[in-house]
Structure 1
Protein backbone atom coordinates (compact mmCIF):
# COMPACT_ATOMS: atom_id res chain seq x y z
CA UNK A 1 0.00 0.00 0.00
CA UNK A 2 1.46 3.34 -1.08
CA UNK A 3 1.33 6.52 0.93
CA UNK A 4 -0.06 9.55 -0.89
CA UNK A 5 0.14 13.03 0.60
CA UNK A 6 -2.14 15.53 -1.13
CA UNK A 7 -1.29 19.20 -0.59
CA UNK A 8 -4.20 21.52 -1.36
CA UNK A 9 -3.97 25.29 -1.28
CA UNK A 10 -4.19 28.44 -3.33
CA UNK A 11 -1.72 29.37 -5.99
CA UNK A 12 1.43 30.78 -4.32
CA UNK A 13 0.59 29.26 -0.92
CA UNK A 14 3.87 27.35 -0.77
CA UNK A 15 2.74 23.89 -1.90
CA UNK A 16 5.60 23.31 -4.33
CA UNK A 17 8.27 24.35 -1.82
CA UNK A 18 6.64 22.09 0.75
CA UNK A 19 6.43 19.17 -1.71
CA UNK A 20 10.11 19.52 -2.63
CA UNK A 21 11.06 19.59 1.06
CA UNK A 22 9.01 16.42 1.62
CA UNK A 23 10.92 14.72 -1.20
CA UNK A 24 14.26 15.83 0.20
CA UNK A 25 13.56 14.92 3.84
CA UNK A 26 11.54 11.70 3.50
CA UNK A 27 13.12 8.44 4.63
CA UNK A 28 12.49 6.83 1.24
CA UNK A 29 11.79 7.93 -2.32
CA UNK A 30 8.72 10.10 -2.86
CA UNK A 31 7.50 11.16 -6.30
CA UNK A 32 6.18 14.71 -6.67
CA UNK A 33 3.15 15.17 -8.91
CA UNK A 34 2.04 18.71 -9.65
CA UNK A 35 -1.18 19.99 -11.16
CA UNK A 36 0.97 22.59 -12.94
CA UNK A 37 2.88 19.82 -14.74
CA UNK A 38 -0.39 18.46 -16.11
CA UNK A 39 -1.52 21.93 -17.17
CA UNK A 40 1.73 22.34 -19.09
CA UNK A 41 0.95 19.14 -21.04
CA UNK A 42 -1.95 20.85 -22.78
CA UNK A 43 -1.50 22.23 -26.28
CA UNK A 44 -0.71 25.98 -26.08
CA UNK A 45 -4.01 26.90 -27.75
CA UNK A 46 -5.81 25.60 -24.64
CA UNK A 47 -3.85 27.88 -22.27
CA UNK A 48 -6.92 30.10 -21.80
CA UNK A 49 -9.84 28.33 -23.40
CA UNK A 50 -13.39 27.69 -22.19
CA UNK A 51 -13.05 23.97 -23.04
CA UNK A 52 -10.00 23.62 -20.78
CA UNK A 53 -9.34 26.38 -18.25
CA UNK A 54 -10.37 29.99 -18.66
CA UNK A 55 -8.96 32.92 -16.72
CA UNK A 56 -11.13 36.04 -16.60
CA UNK A 57 -10.80 39.27 -14.68
CA UNK A 58 -13.78 39.63 -12.36
CA UNK A 59 -15.54 42.85 -13.44
CA UNK A 60 -15.35 45.69 -10.93
CA UNK A 61 -13.34 43.62 -8.43
CA UNK A 62 -11.10 45.82 -6.34
CA UNK A 63 -8.46 44.61 -5.73
CA UNK A 64 -8.25 42.51 -8.88
CA UNK A 65 -9.53 38.94 -8.96
CA UNK A 66 -9.08 36.37 -11.72
CA UNK A 67 -11.86 33.80 -11.95
CA UNK A 68 -10.92 30.31 -13.14
CA UNK A 69 -13.40 28.37 -15.22
CA UNK A 70 -13.06 24.66 -15.95
CA UNK A 71 -14.45 23.17 -19.15
CA UNK A 72 -14.94 19.54 -20.13
CA UNK A 73 -11.37 19.15 -21.44
CA UNK A 74 -9.94 20.63 -18.23
CA UNK A 75 -12.12 18.40 -16.06
CA UNK A 76 -11.02 15.33 -18.05
CA UNK A 77 -7.39 16.37 -17.61
CA UNK A 78 -7.77 16.69 -13.82
CA UNK A 79 -9.60 13.36 -13.54
CA UNK A 80 -6.82 11.84 -15.66
CA UNK A 81 -4.22 13.35 -13.34
CA UNK A 82 -5.88 11.73 -10.33
CA UNK A 83 -6.11 8.40 -12.18
CA UNK A 84 -2.40 8.70 -13.06
CA UNK A 85 -1.60 9.30 -9.40
CA UNK A 86 -3.56 6.15 -8.54
CA UNK A 87 -1.67 4.17 -11.21
CA UNK A 88 1.66 5.22 -9.67
CA UNK A 89 0.42 4.37 -6.17
CA UNK A 90 -0.77 0.98 -7.47
CA UNK A 91 2.88 0.27 -8.31
CA UNK A 92 3.77 0.85 -4.65
CA UNK A 93 5.23 4.31 -5.18
CA UNK A 94 4.82 6.92 -2.46
CA UNK A 95 3.74 10.34 -3.71
CA UNK A 96 3.29 13.95 -2.71
CA UNK A 97 0.70 15.79 -4.81
CA UNK A 98 0.64 19.57 -5.34
CA UNK A 99 -2.95 20.51 -6.26
CA UNK A 100 -5.48 23.34 -6.23
CA UNK A 101 -8.81 21.60 -5.66
CA UNK A 102 -11.57 23.89 -6.93
CA UNK A 103 -14.10 21.29 -8.08
CA UNK A 104 -16.77 20.22 -5.60
CA UNK A 105 -16.03 16.52 -6.16
CA UNK A 106 -12.22 16.67 -6.44
CA UNK A 107 -11.53 15.32 -2.95
CA UNK A 108 -14.15 12.58 -3.32
CA UNK A 109 -12.57 11.51 -6.62
CA UNK A 110 -9.17 11.28 -4.93
CA UNK A 111 -10.73 9.12 -2.20
CA UNK A 112 -12.34 6.84 -4.80
CA UNK A 113 -9.29 6.28 -7.01
CA UNK A 114 -6.92 5.95 -4.03
CA UNK A 115 -9.20 3.80 -1.84
CA UNK A 116 -6.58 1.03 -1.60
CA UNK A 117 -3.85 3.39 -0.39
CA UNK A 118 -2.98 5.46 2.65
CA UNK A 119 -4.07 8.99 1.66
CA UNK A 120 -3.42 12.08 3.77
CA UNK A 121 -5.03 15.39 2.85
CA UNK A 122 -3.06 18.47 3.90
CA UNK A 123 -4.53 21.96 3.82
CA UNK A 124 -1.76 24.41 2.94
CA UNK A 125 -2.75 27.83 4.23
CA UNK A 126 -1.29 31.28 4.64
CA UNK A 127 -2.60 34.82 4.90
CA UNK A 128 -4.17 36.45 1.85
CA UNK A 129 -1.53 39.18 2.03
CA UNK A 130 1.18 36.51 1.84
CA UNK A 131 -0.19 34.77 -1.26
CA UNK A 132 -0.76 38.11 -2.98
CA UNK A 133 2.82 39.20 -2.25
CA UNK A 134 4.19 35.86 -3.48
CA UNK A 135 1.98 36.08 -6.57
CA UNK A 136 3.43 39.53 -7.41
CA UNK A 137 7.00 38.46 -6.61
CA UNK A 138 6.80 35.35 -8.81
CA UNK A 139 5.80 37.26 -11.90
CA UNK A 140 4.41 34.14 -13.61
CA UNK A 141 0.84 34.28 -12.32
CA UNK A 142 -2.16 36.43 -13.19
CA UNK A 143 -2.53 38.96 -10.39
CA UNK A 144 -5.79 38.25 -8.57
CA UNK A 145 -5.85 34.47 -9.13
CA UNK A 146 -4.81 33.67 -5.54
CA UNK A 147 -7.37 36.16 -4.16
CA UNK A 148 -10.18 34.48 -6.14
CA UNK A 149 -9.05 31.01 -5.00
CA UNK A 150 -8.54 32.05 -1.38
CA UNK A 151 -12.09 31.44 -0.09
CA UNK A 152 -12.84 28.63 -2.54
CA UNK A 153 -9.95 26.16 -2.41
CA UNK A 154 -10.55 25.02 1.18
CA UNK A 155 -14.38 25.23 1.13
CA UNK A 156 -15.94 21.88 2.02
CA UNK A 157 -12.58 20.12 2.38
CA UNK A 158 -11.84 17.60 5.08
CA UNK A 159 -8.15 17.67 6.03
CA UNK A 160 -6.10 15.28 8.12
CA UNK A 161 -3.64 18.07 8.87
CA UNK A 162 -3.16 21.75 8.08
CA UNK A 163 0.10 23.65 7.66
CA UNK A 164 0.47 27.43 7.73
CA UNK A 165 3.34 28.51 5.51
CA UNK A 166 3.26 31.88 7.29
CA UNK A 167 4.32 30.14 10.48
CA UNK A 168 6.74 27.42 9.35
CA UNK A 169 9.48 27.07 6.74
CA UNK A 170 9.08 24.45 4.00
CA UNK A 171 11.47 22.13 5.87
CA UNK A 172 9.61 22.59 9.17
CA UNK A 173 6.25 21.97 7.50
CA UNK A 174 7.63 18.92 5.69
CA UNK A 175 8.88 17.44 8.96
CA UNK A 176 5.46 17.89 10.58
CA UNK A 177 3.81 16.15 7.61
CA UNK A 178 6.40 13.37 7.37
CA UNK A 179 6.11 12.65 11.10
CA UNK A 180 2.31 12.51 10.81
CA UNK A 181 2.32 10.08 7.87
CA UNK A 182 5.38 8.04 8.84
CA UNK A 183 7.46 8.63 5.75
Structure 2
Protein backbone atom coordinates (compact mmCIF):
# COMPACT_ATOMS: atom_id res chain seq x y z
CA UNK A 1 0.00 0.00 0.00
CA UNK A 2 1.41 3.39 -1.00
CA UNK A 3 1.55 5.87 1.87
CA UNK A 4 -0.22 9.21 1.48
CA UNK A 5 2.12 11.99 0.37
CA UNK A 6 3.73 13.96 3.11
CA UNK A 7 3.09 17.58 3.95
CA UNK A 8 5.69 20.33 3.69
CA UNK A 9 6.40 23.42 5.76
CA UNK A 10 8.94 25.55 3.87
CA UNK A 11 10.87 28.18 5.82
CA UNK A 12 12.45 30.80 3.54
CA UNK A 13 14.78 33.46 4.88
CA UNK A 14 18.22 34.98 4.71
CA UNK A 15 21.36 33.27 5.91
CA UNK A 16 21.59 33.53 9.73
CA UNK A 17 17.89 34.38 10.16
CA UNK A 18 17.34 31.31 12.37
CA UNK A 19 15.75 28.94 9.86
CA UNK A 20 17.56 25.83 11.04
CA UNK A 21 16.84 26.55 14.71
CA UNK A 22 13.16 27.08 13.90
CA UNK A 23 12.97 23.94 11.75
CA UNK A 24 14.50 21.77 14.46
CA UNK A 25 12.07 23.15 17.04
CA UNK A 26 9.13 22.61 14.68
CA UNK A 27 10.27 19.06 13.89
CA UNK A 28 10.06 18.22 17.57
CA UNK A 29 6.85 20.16 18.32
CA UNK A 30 4.60 19.43 15.33
CA UNK A 31 1.96 16.75 15.87
CA UNK A 32 2.11 13.56 13.85
CA UNK A 33 -0.18 13.31 10.83
CA UNK A 34 -1.41 10.31 8.87
CA UNK A 35 2.06 10.30 7.26
CA UNK A 36 3.75 10.32 10.67
CA UNK A 37 6.08 12.84 12.31
CA UNK A 38 7.90 15.68 10.57
CA UNK A 39 11.52 15.37 9.44
CA UNK A 40 13.88 18.34 9.09
CA UNK A 41 15.56 18.62 5.69
CA UNK A 42 18.07 21.33 4.82
CA UNK A 43 20.59 22.24 2.14
CA UNK A 44 22.99 22.77 5.04
CA UNK A 45 23.12 18.97 5.34
CA UNK A 46 25.03 18.96 2.05
CA UNK A 47 26.97 22.16 2.73
CA UNK A 48 28.12 21.67 6.31
CA UNK A 49 26.69 18.75 8.26
CA UNK A 50 27.39 15.69 6.10
CA UNK A 51 30.60 17.02 4.58
CA UNK A 52 29.69 15.65 1.13
CA UNK A 53 31.02 18.53 -0.99
CA UNK A 54 34.63 18.51 -2.23
CA UNK A 55 36.87 20.91 -0.30
CA UNK A 56 40.18 22.68 -0.85
CA UNK A 57 42.99 22.34 1.70
CA UNK A 58 41.75 25.65 3.16
CA UNK A 59 38.28 24.13 3.68
CA UNK A 60 36.38 26.04 0.97
CA UNK A 61 34.04 24.13 -1.35
CA UNK A 62 35.99 23.29 -4.48
CA UNK A 63 34.49 24.35 -7.83
CA UNK A 64 31.43 25.77 -6.05
CA UNK A 65 30.42 28.09 -8.88
CA UNK A 66 30.37 25.16 -11.28
CA UNK A 67 28.60 22.60 -9.08
CA UNK A 68 26.27 25.00 -7.26
CA UNK A 69 23.34 24.83 -9.74
CA UNK A 70 23.29 21.03 -9.77
CA UNK A 71 23.63 20.77 -5.97
CA UNK A 72 20.68 23.14 -5.52
CA UNK A 73 18.58 21.31 -8.12
CA UNK A 74 19.44 17.97 -6.51
CA UNK A 75 18.33 19.31 -3.13
CA UNK A 76 15.09 20.62 -4.66
CA UNK A 77 14.43 17.21 -6.26
CA UNK A 78 14.98 15.44 -2.93
CA UNK A 79 12.05 17.30 -1.37
CA UNK A 80 9.30 15.83 -3.60
CA UNK A 81 10.99 12.42 -3.46
CA UNK A 82 10.74 12.44 0.33
CA UNK A 83 7.17 13.78 0.23
CA UNK A 84 6.03 11.19 -2.32
CA UNK A 85 7.46 8.44 -0.10
CA UNK A 86 5.09 9.63 2.64
CA UNK A 87 7.43 11.79 4.72
CA UNK A 88 6.31 15.05 6.30
CA UNK A 89 9.01 17.70 6.05
CA UNK A 90 10.07 20.97 7.58
CA UNK A 91 12.59 22.36 5.10
CA UNK A 92 14.65 25.52 5.19
CA UNK A 93 16.10 27.28 2.21
CA UNK A 94 17.14 30.59 0.74
CA UNK A 95 15.38 31.37 -2.53
CA UNK A 96 17.72 33.72 -4.37
CA UNK A 97 16.14 33.99 -7.82
CA UNK A 98 12.83 33.78 -9.63
CA UNK A 99 14.26 30.79 -11.50
CA UNK A 100 14.80 28.91 -8.21
CA UNK A 101 11.27 29.77 -7.06
CA UNK A 102 9.83 28.59 -10.38
CA UNK A 103 11.79 25.32 -10.18
CA UNK A 104 10.46 24.68 -6.69
CA UNK A 105 6.95 25.42 -7.86
CA UNK A 106 7.31 22.98 -10.74
CA UNK A 107 8.45 20.23 -8.37
CA UNK A 108 6.08 20.96 -5.47
CA UNK A 109 2.78 21.81 -7.15
CA UNK A 110 1.24 18.37 -6.37
CA UNK A 111 1.96 18.65 -2.63
CA UNK A 112 0.47 20.32 0.44
CA UNK A 113 2.97 23.16 1.02
CA UNK A 114 2.79 25.74 3.80
CA UNK A 115 5.06 28.66 2.97
CA UNK A 116 6.69 30.64 5.83
CA UNK A 117 8.82 33.76 5.49
CA UNK A 118 11.29 34.27 8.34
CA UNK A 119 12.17 37.97 8.34
CA UNK A 120 15.16 39.47 10.10
CA UNK A 121 16.59 43.02 10.00
CA UNK A 122 19.94 43.32 8.22
CA UNK A 123 21.70 44.56 11.37
CA UNK A 124 20.59 41.46 13.29
CA UNK A 125 21.56 39.19 10.40
CA UNK A 126 25.04 40.69 10.30
CA UNK A 127 25.44 40.35 14.07
CA UNK A 128 24.45 36.68 13.90
CA UNK A 129 26.61 36.03 10.84
CA UNK A 130 29.69 37.43 12.61
CA UNK A 131 28.92 35.46 15.79
CA UNK A 132 28.54 32.17 13.89
CA UNK A 133 31.93 32.28 12.26
CA UNK A 134 30.98 29.62 9.70
CA UNK A 135 29.53 31.91 7.03
CA UNK A 136 31.16 34.28 4.60
CA UNK A 137 30.66 37.83 5.86
CA UNK A 138 28.23 39.67 3.58
CA UNK A 139 26.08 36.67 2.61
CA UNK A 140 23.32 37.60 5.05
CA UNK A 141 23.13 41.18 3.74
CA UNK A 142 23.03 39.92 0.14
CA UNK A 143 20.29 37.42 0.97
CA UNK A 144 18.25 40.02 2.86
CA UNK A 145 18.06 42.18 -0.25
CA UNK A 146 16.37 39.48 -2.33
CA UNK A 147 15.09 36.49 -0.38
CA UNK A 148 11.59 37.85 0.30
CA UNK A 149 11.01 39.47 -3.10
CA UNK A 150 9.80 36.44 -5.07
CA UNK A 151 6.43 35.51 -3.56
CA UNK A 152 3.90 36.03 -0.83
CA UNK A 153 3.79 33.72 2.18
CA UNK A 154 1.10 31.84 4.06
CA UNK A 155 2.73 33.20 7.21
CA UNK A 156 5.35 35.85 7.98
CA UNK A 157 7.29 35.70 11.23
CA UNK A 158 9.98 37.85 12.80
CA UNK A 159 13.33 36.40 13.87
CA UNK A 160 13.35 38.68 16.93
CA UNK A 161 10.31 36.96 18.43
CA UNK A 162 11.04 34.15 20.87
CA UNK A 163 11.56 30.72 19.36
CA UNK A 164 8.58 29.44 21.35
CA UNK A 165 6.36 32.14 19.87
CA UNK A 166 7.60 31.44 16.34
CA UNK A 167 6.90 27.72 16.76
CA UNK A 168 3.44 28.43 18.16
CA UNK A 169 2.58 30.76 15.25
CA UNK A 170 3.75 28.29 12.61
CA UNK A 171 1.89 25.36 14.17
CA UNK A 172 -1.31 27.39 14.55
CA UNK A 173 -1.08 28.71 10.99
CA UNK A 174 -0.29 25.31 9.57
CA UNK A 175 -3.20 23.69 11.43
CA UNK A 176 -5.62 26.39 10.19
CA UNK A 177 -4.35 26.42 6.58
CA UNK A 178 -6.37 25.65 3.54
CA UNK A 179 -5.02 22.52 1.90
CA UNK A 180 -5.49 23.78 -1.64
CA UNK A 181 -2.40 24.51 -3.69
CA UNK A 182 -0.91 26.97 -1.19
CA UNK A 183 2.35 27.19 -3.12
CA UNK A 184 0.65 28.36 -6.32
CA UNK A 185 -1.57 30.77 -4.39
CA UNK A 186 1.47 32.18 -2.63
CA UNK A 187 3.23 32.67 -5.96
CA UNK A 188 0.19 34.53 -7.23
CA UNK A 189 0.03 36.67 -4.08
CA UNK A 190 -3.16 34.93 -2.95
Q: Is contact 2:9–2:116 with CA below 8 Å preserved after alignment?
A: yes
- Tell me what 1:179 maps to: 172
- Tell me what 1:154 maps to: 148
1:23 aligns with 2:27: yes
1:129 aligns with 2:137: no
Q: Is contact 1:22–1:171 with CA below 8 Å preserved after alignment?
A: no
Q: TM-score, normalised to structure 2's length? A: 0.79
Separation in 2, partners of 1:20, 1:169 = 14
1:109-124 to 2 correspondences below 5 Å: 109-124=103-118
For these two proteins, the number of residue pairs brought into alignment is 163
Q: Deviations over 1:129-154 (max 9, x none)?
A: 11111111111112221112111111
Offset of residue 112 of structure 1: 1.6
Q: Is contact 1:131–1:146 with CA below 8 Å preserved after alignment?
A: yes
1:91 aligns with 2:85: yes
Question: As a proportion of its length, which structure holds more helix?
Answer: 2
Long gaps (5+) in structure 1 = 54-70
Q: Is contact 1:35–1:100 with CA below 8 Å preserved after alignment?
A: no
Long gaps (5+) in structure 2 = 177-190
- Tell me what 1:52 maps to: 64
1:169 aligns with 2:162: yes
Offset of residue 158 of structure 1: 2.5
Q: Deviations over 1:10-69 (max 9, x none)?
A: 1110101110110111112111111111224211149445x534xxxxxxxxxxxxxxxx
Q: Is contact 2:9–2:113 with CA below 8 Å preserved after alignment?
A: yes
1:75 aligns with 2:79: no
Q: Alignment partner of 2:81: what SS?
A: helix
Question: As a proportion of its length, which structure holds more strand?
Answer: 1
Runs (4+) off by over 6 Å: none
Q: TM-score, normalised to structure 1's length? A: 0.82
**What is the CA RMSD across the aligned residues, in angstroms?**
1.8
User: RCO higher in 1 or 2 (8 Å CA, sep ≥ 6)?
Assistant: 1
Q: Alignment partner of 2:69: what SS?
A: helix
1:6-17 to 2 correspondences below 5 Å: 6-17=10-21
